[in-house]
Structure 1
């Protein structure tokens, strides 16, 4: 058997070794914790330094005085100072100042950081209370001016796409306008130009309208450059919303505002039906150029809804309708009431 004294010595040595290991572990753990804390502090300080450098590092500049200058000159001056514009449009009472800077914010002389936005209020010119005479002018030049003048949701004048017509005048020359020169601008109006295409006859594709319902067709009529002459047939198998069942076919392009025959099929009318479908027709004068026409519906409560709006050269006029019974259909030509009928 092992001597008791020798056993005690072994046990004592083991205890000393264990305590030594434990002290080393404790000392090493403190070092690790201190190292982690130092790394966290350094990373936090670096992030804060980068943040404040970003916020405060932009160069400060002097806002130039651009009031009264043209928009082009103002933009160049702001660009040189590394400032960016925000454009606001405003009518002015001073003739001839269209396109000049009326106001700016921040004001001139202010010290701001580079890359800041500067609000520029630009003159749209004096408010127009009547339509000018644009006949004989180039349509591109006129549209460029008017699009700037009549931009914004509050404008009373909306520019419709030009209608092109063969003419002896150079291509792009405005032949006619609707409304005519001198018309007052007191409510929202559509300004339409008839423009010379030169001696070349303008042509267009005939759109395929077969399979369209009445409402689908009406929503697209303003896009077409041909005139459809509709006739109606009753068919118990036709859809309730009506359908364009047949259309005259062409092998290629046709002259703009050529006439195209089409057939509308509707269900037979009954006394119980709450709606009525059919063809609104009228005979118009023959106009030298296509003129704006509009078909509105008015219910018994007086509510007006525009069913279709497009240009028409005159003579025979037809448009399908699908409305409630006792609705009044009103045809406007050149913004004047031309014909009215009550659907029964």
Structure 2
């Protein structure tokens, strides 16, 4: 059929109906295939995800697992090389030890040897710095009490102190009492094993004398000042004031043949206590029994209450029977210290 004839015979209404019928057929076909199409799309996406996941873990491998070597007791450089070979990294802590031969060696490790860990793990190593002290120092001219305390502090917690002080010898000397005059072994002696140090300590001048202070009847404040500064040791006893006696004063002291006596001679004295103590404050007599010292040592008497300390007196005393007058708050605690260490306590009541 020729084109002109087709144009003459073209009917728009029939053509529109034919187009509509074909469109309906196409839509129906799409609806019938919708579910399979969606299923195929989901399966395709899932397959792509699985392929990506397998490819990623096939190409990216986790850190290798290794066994921790045993480095305890080894030199630090050797331990570091062994850890490096395993791709392990050290975290080092330093510590003093009692044995000079331990310097630079591994004392312990964490994790322990034989543990299975991932490469790149940090291994904690404790390394010895050696001993705190590797030679005997010069103690001559220092105070014996100071040296003793310093050594005790230095080796606190040590099972084997490297320096032990023997019982000192004493001799009279112009140096102040307690001053170290000689030592054995001498300064600079190398410490490879524990060393016992022998010291000669001054007792002070042998023939030094002091004037006896008169403490009878003076005020309590003057009494404390005198006790703190004199080189006489007063042994106090106390009684409650009677009759016309004045309270809180020394009523009598032991008479001596001369007004001068050797340093730290002991003299008896009697103290009168108040008939009625104040509600919050007590005047009393602190007493303690201590070892006898070869020379006068510095003592400190303090009162302590609710964590607050107050110094009552600092004095020098030769030990044995120690008696000190005090005024302190009721229910407080009295602490007697020598070279910073409490040697006696007493409750104020």
Q: What TM-score comes out, normalization by structure 2 length?
A: 0.43
Q: Find the structure with the greater CA-based Rg.
A: 2
Q: What TM-score comes out, normalization by structure 1 length?
A: 0.43
